[in-house]
Amino acid sequence: MLLSICKSEYPLLGRESGTATGWDVQNHFVLGGVAVHEGQIYRLTKVLDAVQEKYFPSISVPIEFHATEIRRGKNRFKDFTPSKREDILSDVYKIISDATYPNLVLFATAIHISAVENQFQARTKVLEDLCQRFNMFLTRKFHAGLPNKGLLIIDRHREEEYRHLISEFQSAGTSYGCLGNIVDIPYFARCRETRMLQLADFCANAVFRYYERNDTKYIDMIFDRFDKRSKDSPPEGLKHFTNEECGCYACSWRT
């Protein structure tokens, strides 16, 4: 896996939605990712800070924007009405939808219960696929004369599991071969520590709700930010593993 001199880095910040062990109550598990050019992180952080200032004008310390907590009115969001919480969600999703390629690029892999053998396999499959899609994006950039390296940053909540998986990738490779454009030492951070992981949470949650609840509201807002080869190409950054017939956004163009 790697290394060469590069002009800049793309962090891919990954966040789960659903759980790899929750198959008694869910049909899908999602790993979503937001790839942000390093030169855009400060600007996007300030834009999300402005959303906090809009809704929490008296609070200066960073508040974590977590899509599920906002939707359910948990923690700091408990005093907001449902309509106001929807406004907060829309404001955050608008940050993603207003970003331009390639400053911010989305990736997400969903796995349906029909394709699951066990919880380890489910998490392995979505991580492997997400990394492969990110590597393809970086490869296209390289061939276009922009030799960027990818850096994987994952929510620390699942650090032990992901360290083990990435160690397996390093020793045995992946089913896609070598992921040569991604730095092979992952980093881990708490979601509350970085606004970019919070954007990844919103990406993963939109994809999870699309597959689990047939809710298209927010995935439609951010759909054009998923990686694609050209403006009119299908969304290669979105993948759905299922053993059933499917006409979803990810499957319809692949059949």
What residue numbers bound the domain in which 114 lies? Answer: 8-241
Q: Which residues of 124-159 are buried (b: 16+ CB within 10 A; e: fewer)?
A: bbbbbbbbbbbbbbbeebbeeeeebbbbbbbbeebe
Asked if pLDDT for residue 134 goes beyond 50, the answer is: yes
Average pLDDT, the chain: 92
pLDDT of residue 82: 98
pLDDT of residue 255: 65
Please compute the mean of the pLDDT values over residues 64-88 and round it to a whole number: 98
Q: What are phi and psi of 20, to 5 degrees?
A: -75, -5
**Considering the domain boundaries, does residue 216 fall inside one?**
yes
Q: What is the number of domains present in the chain? A: 1
Q: How would you write the chain as a 3-class SS string?
A: CCCCCCCEEEEEEEEEECCCCCCCCCCEEEEEEEEECHHHHHHHHHHHHHHHHHHCCCCCCCCCCCHHHHHHCCHHHCCCCHHHHHHHHHHHHHHHHHCCCCCEEEEEEEEEHHHCCCHHHHHHHHHHHHHHHHHHHHHHHHHCCCCEEEEEEEEHHHHHHHHHHHHHHHHHCECCECCCCECCCCEEECHHHCHHHHHHHHHHHHHHHHHHHCCCHHHHHHHHHECCCCCCCCCCCEEEECCCCCCCCCCCCCC
* Residue entry with tokens 């030169």: 39
Q: What percent of the chain has pLDDT over 70?
A: 96
**Considering the domain boundaries, does residue 108 fall inside one?**
yes
Q: How confident is the model at residue 5 (pLDDT cuts 50, 70, 90)?
A: very low
Q: How confident is the model at residue 68 (pLDDT cuts 50, 70, 90)?
A: very high
Asked if pLDDT for residue 148 goes beyond 90, the answer is: no
Contacts of 15 (CB under 8 A, 6+ apart): 31, 32, 33, 154, 155, 191, 197, 200, 201, 203, 204
Please compute the mean of the pLDDT values over residues 153-182 and round it to a whole number: 83
**Considering the domain boundaries, does residue 247 fall inside one?**
no
Q: How confident is the model at residue 171 (pLDDT cuts 50, 70, 90)?
A: confident
**Considering the domain boundaries, does residue 2 fall inside one?**
no
How far apart (Å, rounded) are the C-alpha atoms in residues 223 and 218? 8
Q: Could you tell me which residue, 101 or 218, shows the higher pLDDT?
A: 218
pLDDT of residue 244: 97
**Considering the domain boundaries, does residue 217 fall inside one?**
yes
pLDDT of residue 14: 96
Asked if pLDDT for residue 89 goes beyond 60, the answer is: yes
Q: How confident is the model at residue 8 (pLDDT cuts 50, 70, 90)?
A: low
Domain at 132, CATH number: 3.30.420
**Considering the domain boundaries, does residue 77 fall inside one?**
yes
**Considering the domain boundaries, does residue 211 fall inside one?**
yes
Pick the range with the lowest mean pLDDT from 79-83, 220-224, 227-231.
227-231
Which pTM value belongs to this model? 0.94
**Considering the domain boundaries, does residue 14 fall inside one?**
yes
- Give me the amino acid identity at 219: I
